[in-house]
Structure 1
């Protein structure tokens, strides 16, 4: 394994962590909105099993 492969693996891992943190932050924000607004935008109905349907 050369240095480039290790760097790429670390970058991939950091990217996954960043994505997870952003998803958690979004969920907290959305859950903090009033219930009527969440209903109007379809939160959390547009999510199935914790993943977005378009994913």
Structure 2
């Protein structure tokens, strides 16, 4: 099993639901909450449409 950041599942769920924006995801990487690799994995998934993405 891969060693994931503690917040990986949270951000993955938010992405799938569409409740997190791309810019918020980039901010999570900058703050060290998730890694760049995890960001790449999550954003490769289809983003939900709860909120429009504002890049």
Using structure 1 for the length normalisation, give the TM-score: 0.31
Give the structure with higher Rg (CA). 1
Give 1 or 2: higher helix fraction. Answer: 1
Q: Which has the higher contact order (CA 8 A, sep 6+)?
A: 2
Higher strand share: 1
TM normalised by structure 2 equals: 0.31
